A and B are shown apart, each in its own frame.
Chain A
Amino acid sequence: MEKFTAHVGTAVPLRRSNVDTDQIIPAVYLKRVTRTGFEDGLFAAWREDPDFVLNNPAYAGATILVAGPEFGTGSSREHAVWALCDYGFRVVISPRYGDIFRGNSLKQGLLTVELPVEAVEELWDLVESRPTTTVEVDLEALEVRADGRVWGFTLDSFSRWRLLEGLDDIGLTLRHEDRISAFETQRPAWGVVVS
């Protein structure tokens, strides 16, 4: 995983709540067996509407998505995170996320920032009135800054450390392989074995 310390970019306002992962990437786009090229599936149904915000040239090149509460609920498909990343997003800001989506995003280096509803509304107003507004997302300082305003956010210290260091989870776990082997010797003898 790439390190994430801070990101500066422009932002897209997505004034919707309950943006489930079926909207972020519909199921027909999940058939691929590779890990790249999912940008065409991002919000595929909504992008057919010329008025959809991602079709607004004013937001071309934006790297931060600002959405309403319950972003990424529903299906566990990590493809939703891949689609956002492949499209060019580095950060999502929303008041609340679906848990699985949040976990997936932090493993892929897509920073999902939680800000209160009021802050999200301020950001929406700001980038709607001036789409070129630069938004700074600082993981070291745990701050979002835009137009002279500053919003603090929190992230559990382990996820933050992993993102700042760009660490691979599996590698970290395999450091404790002896513990895993020791645990395995104590599992009940009648436990399920498939083969």
Chain B
Amino acid sequence: MSRTLAQKVWDSHVVRKADGEPDLLYIDLHLLHEVTSPQAFDGLRIAGRKVRRPDLTIATEDHNTPTDNLLTISDPVSRTQIETLRRNCEEFGIRLHPLGDPEQGVVHVMGPQRGLTQPGMTIVCGDSHTSTHGAFGALAFGIGTSEVEHVLATQTLPQNTPKQMAVTVTGELPPGITAKDLILALITQVGTGGGRGHVVEYRGPAIEKLSMEGRMTVSNMSIEWGAKAGLIAPDDTTYAWLEGRTFAPKGRDWEAALDAWRALPSDPDAVFDSEVTLDAGTLSPFVTWGTNPGQGAPLSASVPDPESFQSEAERAAARRALEYMDLRPGVPLREVAVDVVFVGSCTNGRLEDLRLAADVLRGRKVADGVRMMIVPGSAAVRAQAESEGLHEVFTAAGAEWRFAGCSMCLGMNPDTLKPGQRSASTSNRNFEGRQGKGGRTHLVSPAVAAATAVVGRLAAPADL
């Protein structure tokens, strides 16, 4: 029977199947960070259990870490959480990339860069943006702390079979339009619940043309429209990216792996439960105006009138969002002034993203009164960017060049918005208070972020 990519990965990981029960899936790679793991380790200790496969488990420090230095975590509560992870990793024999380690970074940047993320794998992490790894044709999804404990103890997870959805992106992205614009436009089209219960496969010519970085940006935001996972079929772009990385197979193993990976893409007549299509050719720079990632619009549009939405629920949500965002209907989005610009996160904190931002900033200055933070997704990305001299472009423009971490993507470390401040952010969530209590977030691409920093209002490079 013909199968989708996701079904093939699923089938090859079923440990046990029984009527009326979820399938028991084997997990190839378990990623850990400090926030969602402490209670799971406690659970193991209480039950007297061990970590079944420390050799399939790896940890990094990212959410709580400072990005202005590599030594001091000033908040004692954050420090305790980091120290707890260090103790747990030591006690249970798990490899950890701590603050200051050359491989430390946001968990979803670290995995792919080390070559740990490979096609056909099952990957989980106590973090919803685990969907990022789907860009390699892996079945990767976020789990809660109870499930983290379950995977630590058993290296498996009971899972109900998801439905299959295809997102077909036809045409070609216009010059200067990026993966971020694509995924923001898609989420506005389908809504935050559009992918619920589904594993999604992004396909079509516009997806095939994306770099691995771009594909990761798309897969990363699958969870923002409710999808369980977002896969992209592996191809030569994937293999070229992987070859030679630390944990990628070598020599004869590489050949064997390639043979297995080439059999993964969905069969031509595979059946999806539903399909969404999007024409890449129609896309333009896209930004959000509201407080969920489905409340977005082209940069060329104006703040919408809440009354223009179809359902009362949408109207109420839009009214509330505009009140929180302090925006009036009808105001052109290009007139919205920002206080802070954040380039970083597991959505857009990779080398290609930093290059895009640097291309816009080269020879230009960040507008007066605007704070711009550039936060590489990992220490390795930071080192690569410095070897290309990108940091000099950023600092010459007046932006802050920081150390790696989640930083202002979420209000958990010292990098936060102050109440009432407005940001243009390359991260993935514009929820109320996500970047700090009372902060207002507009989600944008790295190119739009950089142009916005120069102009001081939401802008695209073409406006400069």
| Contact stretch, chosen from A5-13, A84-92, A175-183 | A175-183
Known contacts: A20-B431, A26-B437, A180-B155. The answer to whether A100 contacts B144 by CB under 8 A is yes
- Supposing A69-B193, A173-B24, A194-B95 touch, asked if A31 and B15 sit within 8 A by C-beta, the answer is no
Question: Within the assembled complex, what's the spacing in Å between the Cα atoms of A17 and B320?
Answer: 10
The stretch of A51-59, A70-78, A133-141, A144-152 in contact with B is: A70-78
Structural contact, B160 and A156, CB atoms closer than 8 A: yes
Q: How many chain B residues have a CB neighbour from A under 8 Å?
A: 82
B28 touches A192 (CB 8 A): yes
Give bound CA distance, A188 to B20, whole Å.
29
Contact status B142-A76, CB under 8 Å: yes
The reply to whether the CB of A60 lies closer than 8 angstroms to some CB of chain B is no
Chain A residues near B22: list those with CB within 8 A.
158
Once the chains are docked, how many angstroms separate the CA of A188 from the CA of B156? 17
Which of B2-10, B78-86, B382-390, B393-401 is found at the contact surface with chain A?
A: B78-86
Knowing A35-B39, A179-B15, A192-B247 touch, does A68 contact B313 (C-beta < 8 A)? yes
Distance A172 CA – B257 CA, assembled complex (angstroms): 33
Nearest CB of A to B160, in Å: 7
| Closest A residue to B40 using CB positions | A78
What per-residue 1/0 map shows which CB atoms of B122-146 lie under 8 Å from chain A? 0000111000000000000011111
Whether B411 lies near A158 (C-beta < 8 A) is no
| Inter-subunit contact B35/A77 (CB<8 Å) | yes
Closest residue of chain B to A168 (Cβ to Cβ) is B47
Contact B26 A180 (CB under 8 A): yes
Residue A130 interfacial (CB < 8 Å): no
Using CB atoms, name the residue of chain B closest to A80: B144
| Given A35-B39, A103-B144, CB of A180 within 8 Å of CB of B249 | no
Q: Is the CB of B154 within 8 A of A170?
A: yes
Q: Given A35-B42, A69-B193, A76-B127, are A27 and B410 neighbors across the interface (CB < 8 Å)?
A: yes
- Is A16 an interface residue, CB under 8 A from the partner? yes
A122 within 8 A of B: no
Give the distance in Å from the alpha carbon of A144 to the alpha carbon of B437 in the complex. 36
Give chain A residues whose Cβ lies under 8 Å from the Cβ of B158: 158, 169, 172-173
Q: How distant is the Cα of A169 from the Cα of B49 in the complex, in angstroms?
A: 14
Once the chains are docked, how many angstroms separate the CA of A14 from the CA of B60? 37
In the complex, whether B426 has a CB less than 8 A from a CB of chain A is: no
By beta carbon, the residue of chain A nearest B413 is A27
B61 at the interface (CB under 8 A from A): no
Q: Is A129 an interface residue (CB 8 A)?
A: no
Interface segment, one of B50-58, B176-184, B277-285: B50-58
Interface residue from B21, B35, B63, B320 paired with A16 (Cβ < 8 Å): B320
| Candidates B144, B193, B412, B434; contact of A76 at CB < 8 Å | B144
Contact B253 A189 (CB under 8 A): yes
Q: Does chain A have a CB within 8 A of B29?
A: yes
- CB neighbours (8 Å) of A104 from chain B are 144-147
Q: A22-B434, A96-B196, A180-B15 are in contact. Are A190 and B147 (CB under 8 A)?
A: no
For window 240-299 of B, CB contacts with A under 8 Å fall at 247, 249, 253-254, 256-257, 260, 291-292
Please state if B226 and A17 are interface contacts (CB–CB under 8 Å). no
- Point out the residues of chain A lying under 8 angstroms from B254, CB to CB: 190
Would you give the shortest CB distance from B141 to chain A, in whole angstroms? 8
Decide if A77 touches B226 in the complex (CB within 8 Å): no
Q: Are B144 and A31 in contact (CB under 8 A)?
A: no
Residue of B nearest to A157 (CB): B20
A193 and B253 CA atoms in complex are apart in Å by 13
Least CB separation from B42: chain A residue: A35
Q: Choose one: B36, B253, B316; the contact of A190 (CB below 8 Å).
A: B253
Please measure, in the bound complex, the distance between the C-alpha atom of A72 and the C-alpha atom of B228, giving whole angstroms.
14
Query: Nearest B residue to A22 by beta-carbon distance?
Result: B431
Instruction: Assess whether A170 is in contact with B47, with CB atoms less than 8 Å apart.
Output: yes
Residue of A nearest to B20 (CB): A157
Name the residue of chain B whose CB is nearest to the CB of A188: B260
CB atoms of B42 and A76 under 8 A apart: no
A23 B432 Cβ-Cβ under 8 A: yes
| Residues in A lying within 8 Å of B, measured CB to CB | 15-18, 20, 22-23, 26-28, 30-35, 45, 68-70, 73-79, 81, 96, 98-100, 103-104, 107-108, 117, 156-158, 169-170, 172-174, 176-177, 179-180, 183-184, 187-195
A-B interface, 8 closest residue pairs, ranked by CB to CB distance from nearest: A104-B144, A190-B253, A33-B38, A78-B144, A27-B412, A76-B142, A78-B145, A107-B146
11 residue pairs of the A-B complex, CB under 8 angstroms, read: A18-B192, A31-B412, A73-B192, A76-B144, A103-B147, A169-B150, A172-B158, A180-B24, A183-B15, A188-B256, A193-B55
Given contacts A34-B38, A194-B58, 11 further A-B contacts (CB under 8 A): A16-B320, A32-B81, A33-B80, A73-B192, A98-B226, A157-B20, A173-B158, A179-B15, A188-B256, A188-B260, A194-B116
A-binding residues in B (CB < 8 A): 15-16, 20-22, 24, 26, 28-29, 35-36, 38-39, 42, 47, 49, 52, 54-58, 63-64, 75, 77-78, 80-81, 84, 95, 116, 118, 121, 126-128, 142-147, 149-150, 153-156, 158, 160, 192-193, 196-197, 223-224, 226, 228, 247, 249, 253-254, 256-257, 260, 291-292, 313, 316-317, 320, 410-412, 429, 431-434, 437-438
